[in-house]
Structure 1
Amino acid sequence: MPAAVVPTVCIQAEDFDVAAEIARMTQGRTDIGAVVTFSGLCRDEAGRLAALELEHYPGMAEAEIGRIAAEAVGRWPLQGLTAIHRHGRIAPGENIVLVVAASAHRQPAFEAANFLMDYLKSRAPFWKKEYHSDGSDGGWVDAKESDDRAASRWKLKPGE
């Protein structure tokens, strides 16, 4: 019987390297047939964002993401699962979040990555503040109902 998968959860200020994270997960592994990644970037659709400031509650954020990642490992036959979320000041075009899910087959990897991202967007304890390129403070970014709706399609185990 394969060893239990222990998800990797990192919350860090520094950038991450998507290819390096995939290599770390797959190095020397022949049981992985699919790796699905999602990388979220800071976007500036209106052309006025200088940066986002992402704040989190240390300890609580890691625990909550770890809990959701463990739920994913329990739901799908995974060989690996990584979630990296940055905090601090992030400029447009820079990385914010990475999810890497590995499985013997593609469907479990896709579903686990999707599940984890839906919960990261809607439930992870992060707060975003916008800073505009004209020097003004854009204020705190409100949660989106669409993110809550996306997460609601996944039913957590009772009590979670």
Structure 2
Amino acid sequence: MRIAVQPEPFDQAEALRGFGGTAGAIVTFTGVVRDDTGRMQALELEHYPGMTERAITAIAGKAQARWSLSDVLVIHRYGRLAVGEQIMMVATAARHRREAFEAAEFLMDFLKSRAPFWKKEIGPDGQSWVAAKDSDEDALRRW
């Protein structure tokens, strides 16, 4: 298992080098900063070092145990990120594809709602904190 919370961009191929061992399936997801309003210039993410890594490690540990994953990777960036920049990556490795896919979805749903990051949208008219969405909470209920 590898968890990284960092301000720097990451290289997907480099991050996956040696990942998964002898797993039969590896699933990856990379999220990018999107602009749903057409006016956002950047997204700024804040976190508490130590607390954030512990929370993500706990979530990843639950996924690893539930789906018997052979490997888990979570990279999450913080700081000021422009629209289109990579914000995070999840990779799961399992014996079979179903477990790898389900574990990746589980991680995404829990990271979106439970990882302690605070997000602020920055645009031409100023900045505003991003509120939690009901749809994100709804996604957790299936797990």
TM-score, length of structure 2 as denominator length: 0.95
CA–CA separation in structure 1 for the residues paired with 2:18 and 2:31: 19
- Please tell me whether residue 149 in structure 1 is matched to residue 109 in structure 2: no
Give the structure 2 partner of residue 40 of structure 1.
Answer: 31
Task: Give, in angstroms, the shift of residue 20 of structure 1.
Answer: 1.6
Equivalents in 1 of 2:88, 2:18: separation in Å? 17
**Structure 1 residue runs of 4+, over 2 Å off?**
none
C-alpha displacement at 1:79, in angstroms?
Answer: 1.4
User: Counterpart of 1:82 in structure 2: which amino acid?
Assistant: L
CA deviation vs aligned residue, 1:11-59 (integer Å, no higher than 9, x gap): 0000111122222314xx3x22111011110011332111000001111
What is the distance in 1 between the residues matched to 2:48 and 2:120? 15
Q: Equivalent residue for 2:8?
A: 14
Tell me if 1:95 matches 2:86. Answer: yes
Aligned sequence identity (%): 52
- Give, in whole Å, the separation in 1 of the partners of 2:113 and 2:36: 21
Paired AA for residue 114 in structure 2: R
Question: Matched residues in 1 for 2:11 and 2:102: separation?
Answer: 23
Displacement after TM superposition at 1:81 (Å): 0.3
Aligned counterparts of 1:53 and 1:127: Cα–Cα separation in 2: 8
How does 1:5-154 map onto structure 2 within 5 Å? 7-26=1-20, 29=21, 31-132=22-123, 134=124, 136-154=125-143
Q: Report the AA paired with residue 137 of structure 1.
A: G
Unpaired segments ≥5 residues, structure 1? 1-6, 155-160
- For residues 121 and 152 of structure 1, the distance between their equivalents in structure 2, rounded to whole angstroms, comes to 13
Unaligned runs of 5+ in 2: none
Deviation by residue 1:95-133 (Cα, 9 ceiling, x = unmatched): 01100001121011001111111000011100100111x
Give the number of the structure whose alpha-carbon radius of gyration is greater.
Answer: 1
Change (3 A) 1:74 1:137: same
Normalised TM-score (structure 1): 0.85
C-alpha distance in structure 2 between counterparts of 1:101 and 1:66, whole Å: 14
